[in-house]
A = this chain, B = another copy of it.
Amino acid sequence: MSHVVYGCLMAVDRDHVLRSAAALLTRKSTATMDEVAKAAGISRATLHRHFAGRDALVRALEALGIAECEAALERARPDDGPASEAVRRLVREIEPAAALLAFLYTENQLFEGEEQNEGWARIDDRIAALFRRGQASGEFRIDLTPAWLTEALYGLLASGAWAITEGRVARKDFTHMIVELLLGGALRREEP
């Protein structure tokens, strides 16, 4: 039985370590393994017992980010109702993971050559499909490609998360700012 008990404790701790690592690396992307360990309240040795190395840690964070994205995508029901409302739900659901996303988004530029996790491709596809659905229904303009809208969504999520940590905008405005800019743009709409 000890296997189960210890295994369970390991899992819990691993998740806790992952969360605090995400919280730290989000703020300081160059944090040392030492700092990551201290932030999690464990020793570097234990950290290495959970994650073979910094690379493995980042991969685990990537998996976490993908999982959170897919969970948010699930909750947002991107295929239900008007596409604009689906986008709004998606941004709202993905907000808690925005800082982690921002970290992974910049971190991906380092991998350049290497193959990137295929999980991102699936998420990209689902988000792009949402925009494509909005175009097909006539809600969204068609001169902005779904791929670009997806990319822009990532960029705005990252910018928003970073602007919040810098104190330049209020956290409570996160969803509104991103959704309104992404969908409505800066121009004042003429009242219909």
Residues of A within 8 A of B (CB): 27-30, 84, 87, 106, 109-110, 112, 131, 134, 138-141, 143-145, 147-149, 151-152, 154-156, 158-160, 162-163, 168-169, 173, 176-177, 180-190, 192
Give every chain B residue within 8 A of A152 (Cβ-Cβ). Answer: 156, 159-160, 177, 181
Nearest Cβ in chain B — how far from A165, in angstroms?
9
- A185 vs B87: C-alpha distance in the bound complex, in angstroms? 13
Cα distance A184–B143 in the bound complex, in angstroms: 11
Contact B139 A188 (CB under 8 A): yes
Q: Is the CB of A190 within 8 A of B188?
A: no
Contact residues of A: prevailing secondary structure: helix
Query: Cβ of A29: which chain B residues have Cβ within 8 Å of it?
Result: 109-110
Taken together as a complex, chains A and B put the C-alpha atoms of A112 and B155 apart, in Å, by 20
9 closest Cβ pairs, A-B complex:
A185-B185, A155-B159, A184-B185, A155-B155, A151-B163, A141-B188, A106-B106, A140-B186, A183-B187
